[in-house]
Amino acid sequence: MGITQLKNGKFRLQIRRKGFPTVDKVFESAEGAQAAEAAAARKQKPVQDDITLNELCERYHDSREFSEKAENTQKTELCRIKPVLATLGEYSLKNLEQDTSAIYDYMDKRSKEVSPRTKEKISGTTIRLEIAALSALVAFAKTRKLRNYVATAQTAGAINLP
């Protein structure tokens, strides 16, 4: 973790820790950067030898479980997991399990976004299918005993959308 002062007088916070998303933000004051650093440190508890969601997705797509699914299901999962990985892909599964609020934050953020294709808000069905794709990854991890991800699977599988 590090805070550096930029030439323009602002302060840059950069945090790169395995299993967590990269934080790279600029603040007007050193106090703001220190507060953000402290908040990130509270949320980021180090985990040894854990697999990220991106790494798990690669393993899953190369697996027998994925290849045995119907072609339409494969296409749907491949399409629907992309926005999830863009936001949560750097999280390790253990850290997602410990901080399931990241999944709910993703859903909240996603429900406010506008589709570039239709120019309308993202539908609840789209978000449900994205969470279902996440749930498939977590179920795969559980089946392969990569870790005990029961809490994450329950959170990802028990999402009720309007």
CA pair distance 160, 118, nearest whole angstrom: 24
- Whether residues 85 and 150 share a domain: the answer is yes
Range of the domain at 31: 2-43
**Is 79 found in the same domain as 58?**
yes
CA–CA distance, 19 with 56 (Å, rounded to integer): 12
pLDDT at 75: 95
Same domain, yes or no: 103 and 143: yes
State the residue for tokens 């030898």: 49
Tell me what pLDDT residue 9 has.
Answer: 92
Q: Establish if 134 belongs to a structural domain.
A: yes
Q: Which of 79-83, 92-96, 103-107, 120-124 has the lowest mean pLDDT?
A: 92-96
- For residues 89 and 58, membership in a common domain is answered with yes
Q: What is the mean pLDDT of residues 35-45?
A: 78
Residue 58 lies in a domain: yes
Total structural domains in the chain? 2
Beta-sheet pairing, 23-27 with 2-5: unpaired
Q: pTM of the entire structure?
A: 0.63
Angstrom distance (rounded) from CA 146 to CA 138: 10
